[in-house]
Structure 1
Amino acid sequence: MTSVLFLRQGSRGLLPLPADLAAAGFELLATVDDCSKLVQASVQHAPDLVVGEATRPDDALFRATQTLSEVAPRPVLLFTADNDAAHIERAIGAGVHAWVVGGYGAERLRPLVKLAQARFGHEQALLAQLRDVSQRFEDRKLVERAKGILMRARALTDDDAFQILRTASMHTNQRLGQVSEQIIHSAHFAEAVNRAGQLRMLSQRLVKLYLLRLADVQSRQQQALLDDSVQRVDANLAWLAKGLSQPSFGDLLAQPGATWQALKPALKGKPVAAQVPQVDALAGRLLQDAERLTTSLQSAGPVASLQVLNVAGRQRMLSQRFAQMALMDLLGVEEGVEEGAASRSAAMTAVQHDFERALAYLNGLPLATPDIRAALDQAATGWQQMLAATPQDRRPAGRDRLARLETVANASEALLDLFEQLSTHYERSMQVLMG
């Protein structure tokens, strides 16, 4: 039995609709006398159609039927005395499927209901077709973007990239567009994690380069690297500000931005020993800010795959942090504020353990390609070179100290290059891109 929600607007009882509907075999669920309650009643009773009586339909009625068509679409049959052509046109646009002027005969009720239902069914079919076409169009755009990501990341041809998408679509029982959207989402968060991770590394690299400039070790080269690091911090903060959702990450992004504005001026000009603790403390704060942002970004994306990228990216920071602490030890510089009561030796040991644990983790992953394996082997060698340059029992002097300073400078940059390559490999790996 077809169920009906009856809407009455205006004078009561002009038409015997409720009785005639029941006589014609329709189930009357409820009567609504207030247009503003039409949607609520329709959601509550879920009728097969809405039949209304309105002597002079007004804006409230049209707003109600329009909202109904958007929230809970139903066939709407309206009986009225209004023959205004403008109102008829407005009614059709507002979700009324049959506008009957000047009354009815009881025998016409069922055909009129069928008319409203037929028009509603046709309308819904057209909307479904439109949604399907729109979805196909959006899917095609997503597929093209995803193919571009795969082609750049894996040096694939257009056909090979499409084949990967199609295979993933079949294996996961998802549309091509859904698989493509996942790749776009994963690639976006992978780049965000990589860039936020670079902020961690750069915070420590800046202190290291500041110390090397202070010690006058390869001054011109270290100044060039310092300038490059400053530009990279600016570029990464700008990319993250543009690429991340402000409601989701704005507060986490504001913190490293504010810290950077305090640290950046301290890096200008000739390095001064008395300024090292301030530079070190601000860099430590930037490190903490960037760590919070990176962790949050990893959690927002495909966590398992992004963890690999985060670990590899963190190795860049640990190599630079260990190097800057080793330089402080070699130069006899006072500890930074962020060290607190912990001795530098204990802090260096903790960093060393973190680095070596992560290196073992990366070596144990099954996704290592020949390029990744070679880079990890080189990283292990470079790490041992930097450890060998670190003072053990006594602080070196003269040529020995200079040689150690240069070894730390060169080994830390070599390690940084290797883990930059590794981070890129992991960022572009299929495991990360496929989420």
Structure 2
Amino acid sequence: MTETLRIVVVAPDLAVSDPDDEHALLQAERSRALRIGLLENGYNLVATLPADVFLSERLAQLQPDLIIVDAESEARDALEHVVLATRAARRPIVMFTNDEDTSHVPDAVAAGVTAYIVAGLAPQRIRPILEVAMARFAHEQALRAELAQARNALSERKTIDRAKGLLMQRQGLNEQQAYDKLRKLAMDKGLKLAEVAQRILDAADLLG
């Protein structure tokens, strides 16, 4: 059995100051239903936090596996706080709302929301929604890692090519000889080829 997900819910206070405010009462009841559904599905609900300027610090302390944004009229503001709070350490974000205005869904997805669920609080829907969100997040993270690796490899190749060009120019070597010299230096010093190439370029900059 997989380890229980640690979940933080970002939502407004459940307390309703005006007992005649039907909208606030409905939203509070919906939020309660979401939290009960999470517990009934066996998830570890570690905290419910407001979307404020302290959110980043609180998330850093709690280290949740997944963040649920439970918001309606203030969804855009809540989402902005969550995105800013998770910028340094990305986490899957699932947004539950009864707001049927989906005009800002593309912006939400672009900002990092893994799943955007409208009127999806039936208890039997919660587990599949969160499992799909986790799988999608893992897939996106893998793609980002591959892209970063490709960019790093391209950057290293450019550094090596520049160092080869410098050796060819200053020592009268052909391309293969310059490459062999870089490779021997890397092996002798126990460094990566790109690291040796960068050191040569740095030394050339210093010496002019």
Q: Residues 9-49 of structure 1, C-alpha deviation per residue, up to 9 Å, x if partnerless?
A: 47534232222212211112211112433322221111111
Letter in structure 2 aligned against 1:12: A
Contact 2:51-2:82 within 8 A present in 1 as well: no
What amino acid maps onto 1:14 in structure 2? Answer: R
1:187 and 2:204 correspond: yes
Secondary structure (helix, strand or coil) at the match of 2:154 reads helix
Whole-Å Cα distance in 1 between the matches of residues 95 and 76 of structure 2? 15
- 1:4 maps to 2:7: yes
Aligned partner of 2:8: which letter? L
Residues of 1 paired with 2:72 and 2:187: CA distance? 57
Pairing 1:61–2:78 present: yes
User: Given the alignment, which residue of 53, 56, 61 partners 1:39?
Assistant: 56
The structure where strand makes up a greater share of residues is 2
CA apart distance, 1:105: 1.4
- Tell me by how many angstroms 1:108 deviates: 1.6
Would you say 1:124 and 2:121 are equivalent positions? no
Contact 1:5–1:51 under 8 Å retained in 2: yes
In 2, Cα distance between equivalents of 1:160 and 1:29: 60
Which aligned pairs between 1:30-109 and structure 2 lie closer than 5 A? Answer: 30-109=47-126
Partner of 1:162: 179
State how far apart, in whole Å, the 1-side matches of 2:89 and 2:99 are: 26
Matches of 1:58 and 1:108, distance apart in 2:
21
Establish whether residue 115 from structure 1 lines up as the match of residue 132 from structure 2: yes
Deviation track 1:148-168 (CA, whole Å, cap 9, x = no partner) reads 222223222111111122233
Helix, strand or coil at the partner of 1:162? helix
Q: In 2, distance between residues paired with 1:37 and 1:167?
A: 52
Per-residue CA deviations over 1:193-244 (Å, capped at 9, x if unaligned) read: xxxxxxxxxxxxxxxxxxxxxxxxxxxxxxxxxxxxxxxxxxxxxxxxxxxx
CA displacement at 1:173 relative to structure 2: 4.6
Task: Determine if the alignment matches structure 1 residue 144 to structure 2 residue 161.
Answer: yes
Q: Show the 5 A alignment for 1:398-417.
A: none
Q: 1:134: Cα distance to partner?
A: 0.9
> In structure 2, what is the Cα distance between the partners aligned to 1:67 and 1:170?
43
1:21 to 38, 43, 58: 38
User: What is the aligned-residue RMSD (CA, Å)?
Assistant: 2.0
- Superposition deviation, residue 106 in structure 1: 0.9
Q: Structure 1 length as normaliser, TM-score?
A: 0.41
Tell me the number of residue pairs that the alignment of Structure 1 and Structure 2 aligns: 191
Partner SS for 1:85? coil
In the alignment, is the contact (CA less than 8 A) between 2:51 and 2:81 conserved in 1?
A: no
Gaps of 5+ in 1: 192-435
Rg larger in 1 or in 2? 1
Q: Give the Cα separation in 2 of the matches to 1:166 and 1:61.
A: 53
Shift in alpha-carbon separation, 1:110–1:173, aligned structure 2, 3 A: farther
Q: Shift in Å at residue 57 of structure 1?
A: 4.3
- Partner SS, residue 104 of structure 2: helix
Residue by residue over 1:224-278, the C-alpha shift from the partner in whole angstroms, topping out at 9 and shown as x without a partner, is xxxxxxxxxxxxxxxxxxxxxxxxxxxxxxxxxxxxxxxxxxxxxxxxxxxxxxx
Q: Residues 160-192 of structure 1, C-alpha deviation per residue, up to 9 Å, x if partnerless? A: 11112223334445433222222211221222x
Query: Does the Cα contact within 8 Å between 1:52 and 1:79 map onto a contact in 2?
Result: yes
Paired-residue identity, %: 30
Which protein has greater RCO, CA pairs closer than 8 Å, 6+ apart?
Answer: 2
| More deviation, 2-11/140-149 | 2-11
Query: Is 1:78–1:99's contact at 8 Å kept on the other side of the alignment?
Result: yes
